[in-house]
Structure 1
Amino acid sequence: MDVKKIVHQKNLRYAKKGLLWAFAAGMLYGVTPTLQTLSLALDPLKTASLVSLLLVPLIMACLQDTSSGIAVLMKNIQAGKSKEYIRILRSKPGKFVVLASFFGGPLAMTTVMASVYLAGPIYPIAISACFPAIGAVLSRIVLKEKISINAWIGIVLCIIGALTISWMPPTGGNYPNFYLGLLMAFITAVAWALENIIATLGMDFVDPELAIGIREFTSGGLTFLILPVLAGIGMKSYGVLFQTLPTMGYVYIALAGLFAGASYFYYYKAANSCGASRSMALNVTYTISAMIIGVVFLGSDITLLLVIGTLTLLIGAMLVAGKPAELLTLRDID
């Protein structure tokens, strides 16, 4: 058999694995909104939400990403990779991972937590799922990834799906700041797209398993540092954070961190193997698991517009993903 053909088949198998990793990442991440919502219903987070709008989202983001970073570190220690953390941080690709951590960490985690707090566990997650459309455009500009006609159609469907989902708030008046929550979700989508693009640049030279470990610790650390400033209550914010640790609320956050860490673990591997735009597109399967878990465990409302919008968005995401055979030329320049 021709050597080029053997290499082609090997690369194609690796790219197909990337699609499976992206799907797994999405399904795992869909568990986190329900766990976050459960923690919000318990003190001290329940009471703290009355003090400052950003206090609770920042605390949750800090604790979740730090817990996730510890879980990933345990896995990397087991694999004998822990010593690589410092070396990578000193390198230029490692700095790309740190920069990506800012967008995916303090920015995205705070806005996604705020969106869940303001609009519930289902609608914001659906809106944030339009990030593959944003990411596909950025991938074309920054990473030179090709975008086919089908992918452009998929991008349009993602936007239509997001608009359909946000057309009507849930009934019952439980979320008076519903549309502010959706705005937070959209900011999350932009931040996630930027994170994936920047992280992919770094992971050309960094092991994805180490990249996600650095990402989670950097995110948790940065959020911890900016907590007093953005929360608006100074050092008192640390008091609320530490009060949360011995409670059941933190147990839910830590569990969310485990699922998020596993999700990002596969997500970064997917981005490295099948490209940023494709990994983002398939990652939006978290809308499915988030919806199912939210209904089963929280009794969340499901409206016809939500179902139609989510299906439209998912179809669009699949069109953005494209055919497995196309993955090998994703980053060729036209």
Structure 2
Amino acid sequence: MNEVSGAASAQAVAAKKKLSSSFFKKGITVAILSGMCYGLYSAFMTLGMLKGVWGNSLYAGFSAGGTVLSLFVMTYMLGALGSALNDTISGVWCIIIAAAKGKLGDFFRSLKTKPGAVMIAAALIGGPIASTAYVVALQMAGSIIIPITALCPAIGAILGRVLFKQTLNFRMMCGVAVCVLASVMIGSTGMSAEAPEGLMLGICIAFIAALGWGIEGCVAGYGTSMIDSEIGITIRQCTSGLTNMIILVPLWGVLSGGGVGLAGELIANVWTDMPSLIFFIASGFFSVYAYSLWYKGNSMCGAALGMACNGAYSFWGPFFCWIVIGVFDGQEGWNLAPIAWAAAVVMIIGILLIAMNPMDLFRKKEA
């Protein structure tokens, strides 16, 4: 009887280990997919901001009520507008998905809770500030800024140490140093004669996006520990999109001298321009999974490894911009210099060092 019981117990333990291993590997796959979705979202959004009214009117000096957009407004106001359009459409996708899964009631209930308020705060940091900076940097310097925004895990590690007294050991500091080295490699392309005119300023603005997302990651960690990840992402995208659309874009309109009327006309133009809107619908869809799969992957294989796998978007971003804009749409200038591709790989190594001890991969294998 004892032998039978012992055999059954051994089989149960073996089955549990096999299930845990499968769950862990699936989590890694999910986290990697989140990085790929981030690259696709970046590529389709960038393409959308090159099509239709964006390319034919807005960037050419769109006139509304006698006000012609200056370079200042084109750079920042249209960056906010692109981010607002993407995140609002992403929020609509989130609501559709939540409704299809019967979670819409949970969404409205969560808005009234403390974790829901935390997610709203995280969205305000990551949306109007970081996402807009990301779009502006992307328009000014191209996909080369994507590896720089992947510094957010490094910034998150430092902020976690300062704000929450979390561990920042020698290995993690080495990872931060490697990420800085990669950023220097990327910045060195600004010395090239073929570099875009706004490249260096775009790189500086990309650091703002990395800082904002690093702060968002610290703040949102608390909220998502008590809210379903899909509900958390719905709160995040809806808050970010509506705040950008209702507050930030009109604010830029006032600062430009065109007033709220200018912002209203621009918003109406981009929402009714199907040649570009179709690409924003695609970018909004991939944006949903860029964020939701990140949180899901973290919960399945651990936040450290999930963050490292997601950080591979520093490669997937330039890669899909090249595929979607360069190859699919046939636009020139989206190929990256070899040093930029090498820097993306170095950045991934740095993020991996911050997120986990690489030796743990071998220890898990041995176990």
TM-score (norm 2): 0.80
CA contact (8 A) 2:39 2:321 kept: no
Cα distance change, pair 17–156 in 1 and its aligned pair in 2 (3 A): farther
- Look up the match of 2:104: 82
- Look up the match of 1:318: 352
**TM-superposed deviation, 1:214:** 0.8
Question: What code does the residue aligned with 1:212 have?
Answer: I
**TM-superposed deviation, 1:14:** 5.3
Higher mean C-alpha deviation, range 85-94 or range 294-303? 294-303
- Look up the match of 2:205: 184
Q: 1:131-181: per-residue Cα shift (whole Å, max 9, x none)?
A: 111112223444565445433322211111111111122856562111111
Alignment of 1:156-305 (within 5 A): 156-169=177-190, 173=194, 175-226=196-247, 227-231=249-253, 232=255, 233-235=258-260, 236-247=262-273, 248-274=275-301, 276-296=303-323, 297-298=325-326, 299=332, 300-305=334-339
CA–CA distance in structure 1, aligned partners of residues 301 and 161 of structure 2 = 14
SS in 2 for 1:229: helix
CA–CA distance in structure 2, aligned partners of residues 281 and 213 of structure 1 = 23
CA contact (8 A) 1:267 1:283 kept: yes
Uncovered stretches (5+) of structure 1, i.e. residues with no partner: 328-334
Uncovered stretches (5+) of structure 2, i.e. residues with no partner: 1-8, 62-68, 327-331, 362-367
Cα distance change, pair 174–322 in 1 and its aligned pair in 2 (3 A): closer
Q: Select the structure of larger CA radius of gyration.
A: 2
RMSD: 2.8
Q: Which of 98, 120, 123 pairs up with 1:101?
A: 123
CA contact (8 A) 1:208 1:272 kept: no
Question: What code does the residue aligned with 2:312 have?
Answer: T
SS in 2 for 1:90: coil
TM-score (norm 1): 0.87
CA–CA distance in structure 2, aligned partners of residues 140 and 279 of structure 1 = 19
- Look up the match of 2:6: none
- Look up the match of 2:39: 30
**TM-superposed deviation, 1:43:** 3.7
CA contact (8 A) 2:98 2:231 kept: yes
**TM-superposed deviation, 1:305:** 1.9
Higher mean C-alpha deviation, range 81-90 or range 282-291? 282-291
How high is the sequence identity, in percent, across the aligned residues? Answer: 25
CA contact (8 A) 1:282 1:321 kept: no
SS in 2 for 1:301: coil
SS in 1 for 2:189: coil
More helix per residue: 1 or 2?
Answer: 2
Alignment of 1:1-80 (within 5 A): 17-46=26-55, 47-49=57-59, 50=61, 51=69, 52=73, 53-80=75-102
CA–CA distance in structure 1, aligned partners of residues 317 and 178 of structure 2 = 20
Give the paired residue count: 326
Cα distance change, pair 141–22 in 1 and its aligned pair in 2 (3 A): farther
